[in-house]
Chains A and B, each alone.
Chain A
Amino acid sequence: MTAKASGNLPPLSLHVPEPKFRPGDKVDYSHIVVPPAGAQPRPDEGCAAAETHPLCLDLVRVLDEDHRAVGPWDPKLDAETLRRMLRTMALTRAFDDRMYRGQRQGKTSFYMKCTGEEATSVAPAMALASDDMVFPSYRQQGILIARGYPIVEMVNQIYSNRADKLKGRQLPIMYSARDVSFFTISGNLATQYPQAVGWAMASAIKGDTRIAATWVGEGSTAEGDFHSAMTFAAVYNAPVIFNVVNNQWAISSFSGFAGAERTTFAARAIGYGIAGLRVDGNDPLAVYAASRWAADRARANGGPTLIEHFTYRAEGHSTSDDPGQYRSAQEREEWPLGDPIMRLKRHLIALGEWSDEQHEAMDRELVEQVKAATKEAEKNGVLGHGLHHPFHTMFEDVFEELPWHLKEQSEQAIRERRIKWPEWKES
């Protein structure tokens, strides 16, 4: 059906965003404005939120072209801390590479890498106190690694084996680790945003000193939960940090489908009247400095901060995704903000605190570390090989206590098992 034009009015037209580059296209990133490092002002943590708003349209950067840390946002971390940051990011990448291969080898069903985005989880984790509660999305494995969570436990979860602390119930990488203040990850997007606000409000109600931090991808900022969370945080001045990891792609939908053609994601903060910062997400020092600024502000009852981490998803969305189908392979190569691990490595070398040889040795060591953890985890089984949690655990934790209908269903499940495998015994 075609609508009839009315009088002299022009026909309305619908705008459907289209990314600049598709497979095979030559990539030209000249439209991305990369301001010089060190040029962005750093307001006091106690400033009025509005003072940060120019920074929502800017890009906080610390590492310059010569690999030096410059300007007011330089967090002035000592060499040992910088090396720890580098090692944590490199371990995260080594872990991702191994787990990706593990999925391809059939050891698990699914995996998600964070390649190129390591700084956006590792640096904030280092800037927060270890008992600040984090409400991550699904690509912040760097937080667990930064907080010293045993990687063998992460592998157990990914394999859904009998040692998996989550009893094989969750999709791989949907970790939960209360002992390192890491909230259970949901597969439903942005739900963690209002939850982080609620946790932060509770902390404030109780006169605690711990704050909350949460992460979401730029695509999920379109969810109602994101906006509810921003409203609640603004209304109650909640001690929470909102991280938006703008990695340009939500599976195959570019950031334009979340509104990026209009303004930045950091600019959402302006409308809610809270502090906002837009940061070079591939600059670990800028990410650390922004996170530290927001944490100090929240801890001093200065309220919430929204931080957009401008970065790039270097790999597919997950092991179920092939980005070659919808974007140009050149994007990754041409990305104007480089790679966070390489940038920190060069900075440390420029400081005379690191070398290529040390880096190569570290990488070899990390590969071995991850390999040892996977071997250890494999003793407890891989997905689909029988070494899962005892059968009856399927019915536990739906409620605190097992109601009659779940007892009946549990008996049925065990009966089915016995019919199929008469020799089977509950382990």
Chain B
Amino acid sequence: MIEEAAVSLADAPTRRLNMIEAINDALDIMMERDPGVVVMGEDVGYFGGVFRATAGLQKKYGKTRVFDTPISECGIIGVAVGMGAYGLRPVPEIQFADYIYPGLDQLVSEAARLRYRSAGEFTAPMTVRSPFGGGIFGGQTHSQSPEALFTHVAGIKTVVPATPHDAKGLLIAAIEDNDPVIFFEPKRIYNGPFNGYYDKPVEPWAKHADSVVPEGYYSIPLGKARIVRPGQAFTVLAYGTMVHVAAAVCAEKGVDAEIIDLRTLVPLDIETIEASVEKTGKCLIVHEATRTSGFGAELSALVQERCFYHLEVPIERVTGFDTPYPHSLEWAYFPGPVRIGEAIDRLMKA
């Protein structure tokens, strides 16, 4: 047997991409590699999607593999379940996460349960891509973060990338996964990492280290968190946009935080979380979604159950408020530098 030399991503040629370009690249690569991959959704075909994530794909792969759909999320997900059962790997786009609710029954009762209820006879290997989160003045119907609705469901994996590099690798892993995956794309950071200061100029991805994306195929395993920055003072658990906001606040305050980008919420990388909290003894959880029964509650419970004797201070949980996402008061809702800063002060003072 000939042993293949390990291929390191560090050796691969790279390009600087923003998040949309990285997602587009992942779709392109998977469509090229697997003829069973089909992309569908509202406006994703000729037009290439309202955020341009599917631009050029229809021209390259044809109308029967990349096509527009009726405005029916129930239909989009339901059809994807049937396609998955046939043997395809559909990658439906739900234009905004806020629109996913009409498709909820097909996700929760069908896609998530197919393998279990048929004892493995039928599966629904689909990746539902959907832009989520606020910060673009989308009002209450273009800003929500409904990830906790999906992490609560047995049989669905939930993924949230925070960088172009991860978006590509995680999306490829999601498409290859044989279970249904909800892939929430934080739309506030499509074009650049966001530090939480909405009143300052936006930095493009081009200046950020994580916009360096290897060319060609690579995947990042689902269920593996990323330590964005090692540190000793406290552990930050975040995902999506909030990874960047939390990191910016920590940097500004000059605190030596260990920042963990969870990347996948289910399955969760509990080992990385435990190791970090045991080391730091303090934990800050940050998410943009509403507070009550948010995924932060699950994280808080897990840290308390598993790391209680290492904890020196109560766990801090910074979230959006329990209101709909308001249009004009968007930044009052958003868990920005002030809210995060207060929590950090409490952790550091203790």
Asked if residues A195 and B78 are in contact (CB atoms below 8 Å), the reply is yes
Complex Cα gap A189–B114 (Å): 15
Q: Taking the nearest CB of chain A, how far is it from the CB of B205, in angstroms? A: 32
When C-beta atoms are compared, the residue in chain B nearest to A197 turns out to be B79
Q: Taking the nearest CB of chain B, how far is it from the CB of A295, in angstroms? A: 18
Could you mark each residue 62-103 of chain B with 1 if its beta carbon is under 8 Å from any beta carbon of chain A, else 0?
A: 001100011010110111111111111010000000000010
Q: Is B311 an interface residue (CB 8 A)?
A: no
Could you mark each residue 326-359 of chain A with 1 if its beta carbon is under 8 Å from any beta carbon of chain B, else 0?
A: 0000000000000000000000000000000000
Q: Is A84 an interface residue (CB 8 A)?
A: no
Q: Is A165 an interface residue (CB 8 A)?
A: yes
Contact residues in A for B64 (Cβ distance below 8 Å): 204-205
When C-beta atoms are compared, the residue in chain B nearest to A191 turns out to be B110
Partner-binding segment picked from B48-56, B117-125, B139-147, B283-291:
B117-125
Contact residues in A for B102 (Cβ distance below 8 Å): 224
Asked if residues A194 and B115 are in contact (CB atoms below 8 Å), the reply is no
When C-beta atoms are compared, the residue in chain B nearest to A400 turns out to be B178
Q: Is B322 an interface residue (CB 8 A)?
A: no
Q: Is B268 an interface residue (CB 8 A)?
A: yes
Asked if residues B78 and A166 are in contact (CB atoms below 8 Å), the reply is no
Asked if residues A191 and B105 are in contact (CB atoms below 8 Å), the reply is yes
Asked if residues A186 and B122 are in contact (CB atoms below 8 Å), the reply is no
Q: Is A26 an interface residue (CB 8 A)?
A: no
Asked if residues A184 and B122 are in contact (CB atoms below 8 Å), the reply is yes
Contact residues in A for B65 (Cβ distance below 8 Å): 205
From A196, A397, A399, give the contact of B119 (CB < 8 A).
Answer: A397
Q: Taking the nearest CB of chain B, how far is it from the CB of A171, in angstroms? A: 9
Contact residues in A for B85 (Cβ distance below 8 Å): 133, 183, 195, 198-199
Q: Given A194-B78, A195-B82: A188 and B105 within 8 A (CB)?
A: yes
Contact residues in B for A191 (Cβ distance below 8 Å): 78, 105-106, 109-110
Asked if residues A202 and B75 are in contact (CB atoms below 8 Å), the reply is no
Q: Taking the nearest CB of chain A, how far is it from the CB of B291, in angstroms? A: 23
Could you mark each residue 181-217 of chain A with 1 if its beta carbon is under 8 Å from any beta carbon of chain B, else 0?
A: 0011010100101111111111111100000100000
Asked if residues A167 and B78 are in contact (CB atoms below 8 Å), the reply is no
Q: Given A178-B122, A200-B82, A404-B270: A232 and B70 within 8 A (CB)?
A: yes
Q: Is B116 an interface residue (CB 8 A)?
A: yes
Asked if residues B110 and A195 are in contact (CB atoms below 8 Å), the reply is yes
Q: Is B238 an interface residue (CB 8 A)?
A: no
From B86, B115, B155, give the contact of A198 (CB < 8 A).
Answer: B86
Q: Is A320 an interface residue (CB 8 A)?
A: no
Complex Cα gap A223–B83 (Å): 21
Complex Cα gap A224–B103 (Å): 10
Could you mark each residue 360-397 of chain A with 1 if its beta carbon is under 8 Å from any beta carbon of chain B, else 0?
A: 00000000000000000000000000000000000001
When C-beta atoms are compared, the residue in chain B nearest to A204 turns out to be B64
Complex Cα gap A228–B110 (Å): 15
Contact residues in A for B75 (Cβ distance below 8 Å): 194, 197, 225, 228-229, 231-232
Contact residues in B for A212 (Cβ distance below 8 Å): 82
Complex Cα gap A2–B315 (Å): 53
Q: Is A129 an interface residue (CB 8 A)?
A: no
Contact residues in A for B72 (Cβ distance below 8 Å): 224, 228, 231-232
When C-beta atoms are compared, the residue in chain B nearest to A135 turns out to be B82
Could you mark each residue 141-178 of chain A with 1 if its beta carbon is under 8 Å from any beta carbon of chain B, else 0?
A: 00000000000000000000000011101100010111
Q: Is A235 an interface residue (CB 8 A)?
A: yes
Contact residues in A for B69 (Cβ distance below 8 Å): 232, 235
Asked if residues B82 and A166 are in contact (CB atoms below 8 Å), the reply is no
Q: Given A225-B106, A397-B116: A195 and B267 within 8 A (CB)?
A: no
Q: Given A205-B38, A228-B74: A166 and B118 within 8 A (CB)?
A: yes
From B79, B90, B116, B178, give the contact of A194 (CB < 8 A).
Answer: B79
- Chain B: residues with Cβ within 8 Å of the partner, total of 48
Q: Given A198-B83, A225-B78, A228-B72: A188 and B109 within 8 A (CB)?
A: yes
Asked if residues A228 and B78 are in contact (CB atoms below 8 Å), the reply is yes
Contact residues in B for A205 (Cβ distance below 8 Å): 38, 64-65, 88
Asked if residues B109 and A397 are in contact (CB atoms below 8 Å), the reply is no
Q: Given A186-B110, A202-B87, A400-B115: A195 and B81 within 8 A (CB)?
A: yes
Asked if residues B83 and A201 are in contact (CB atoms below 8 Å), the reply is yes
Complex Cα gap A69–B87 (Å): 42
Q: Is B187 an interface residue (CB 8 A)?
A: no
B102, B113, B117, B266 interface centre (most CB from chain A within 10 Å): B117
Complex Cα gap A195–B119 (Å): 18
Contact residues in B for A202 (Cβ distance below 8 Å): 38, 82-83, 86-88
Asked if residues A203 and B86 are in contact (CB atoms below 8 Å), the reply is yes
Q: Is A405 an interface residue (CB 8 A)?
A: yes
Complex Cα gap A191–B106 (Å): 7
Could you mark each residue 124-139 of chain A with 1 if its beta carbon is under 8 Å from any beta carbon of chain B, else 0?
A: 0000000001010000
Contact residues in B for A204 (Cβ distance below 8 Å): 64
Q: Is A33 an interface residue (CB 8 A)?
A: no
Q: Is B179 an interface residue (CB 8 A)?
A: yes
Contact residues in A for B16 (Cβ distance below 8 Å): none
Complex Cα gap A186–B109 (Å): 8
Complex Cα gap A200–B110 (Å): 17
Q: Which residues of B contact A (CB under 8 A)?
A: 38, 64-65, 69-70, 72, 74-75, 77-88, 90, 102, 105-106, 109-110, 113-123, 154-155, 157, 177-179, 223, 266-268, 270
Closest 6 CB pairs of A and B: A198-B82, A194-B78, A228-B75, A198-B79, A202-B86, A195-B82
Q: A167-B119, A170-B117, A177-B121 are in contact. List 15 more A-B contacts (CB 8 A).
A: A166-B118, A184-B117, A186-B110, A186-B113, A191-B109, A196-B82, A198-B79, A201-B83, A202-B83, A204-B64, A228-B78, A397-B120, A403-B266, A404-B270, A405-B268
Offer 16 A-B interface pairs, CB within 8 angstroms, sorted by A: A165-B119, A170-B117, A188-B110, A195-B78, A195-B79, A199-B85, A202-B38, A202-B87, A212-B82, A225-B105, A228-B70, A228-B74, A397-B120, A398-B115, A399-B267, A404-B270
